[in-house]
Amino acid sequence: MAPRADLFELGSLALDPGEARTVELDIELQPVTVGAQPYEPQPASVPARLDVSRTVAGWSLRLRFDPAVEGPCTRCLDRARAALELDLREYHQPGGGEELASPYIEQGALDLRAWARDAVVLELPTYILCRENCLGICSACGENLNDAGPDHDHPAEPDARWAKLSDVRFD
Ligand SMILES: [Zn+2]
Ligand SMILES: [Zn+2]
């Protein structure tokens, strides 16, 4: 099988136990879904720094990159952006049992795309907002309250029974 571009062959570094190498590479990011809303990575490809250490029994990895995604604001549906600074660690000890095996490494190939995608999904905030104090949309008329101004209000409908009384004048 031909190696995929998103797979990094750890063996290609030809490290002996105790040796380490830092690799600069680009990671292709994938669209993610947060709260049933789609978010696109922006930019789609980000530079990353991968530290690879060969241990006696396996690998110790550190991956750093700063992804950002864009999509609808959770409150008002305007365009929103969330930026992350990720510093991830992964350990892999083949034959050491399931808890010592990384889900992103198979036969010496590191699946950077899957690792990056899972980390982005995990680290994104539950609410992605267009601004820190987004006011959302008006529940009565649907207008974006960020644009509407502080005076936007809907006086409660006067109760029909009281409407008649308001015609009564007390002199
Ligand atoms: Zn908003
Ligand atoms: Zn309104």
pLDDT for 1: 40
The model's pTM is 0.81
Number of domains in the chain: 1
Sort 76 into a burial class: Cβ within 10 Å, 0-12 / 13-18 / 19+. Answer: buried
Q: Cα of 30 to ligand 1 centre, how many Å?
A: 23
Domain extent, residue 77, equals 7-167
30-74 pLDDT, tens digit each: 999 998 999 999 999 999 999 999 999 899 999 999 999 999 999
Is 129 inside any structural domain? yes
Q: Cα of 155 to ligand 2 centre, how many Å?
A: 10
Q: Cα of 73 to ligand 2 centre, how many Å?
A: 18
Q: Cα of 70 to ligand 1 centre, how many Å?
A: 12
Closest among 117, 105, 139 to 65, alpha carbons compared:
117
Is 1 inside any structural domain? no
Is 147 inside any structural domain? yes
| Residue 107 backbone zone (phi > 0: left; psi -120 to 50: alpha; other: beta) | left
Among the bound ligands, name the one nearest to the CA of residue 135.
Answer: 1
Among the bound ligands, name the one nearest to the CA of residue 131.
Answer: 1
Among the bound ligands, name the one nearest to the CA of residue 129.
Answer: 1
Listed as ranges, residues in the chain with pLDDT below 70 are 1-5, 157-171
Is 150 inside any structural domain? yes
Q: Cα of 148 to ligand 2 centre, how many Å?
A: 8
Is 2 inside any structural domain? no
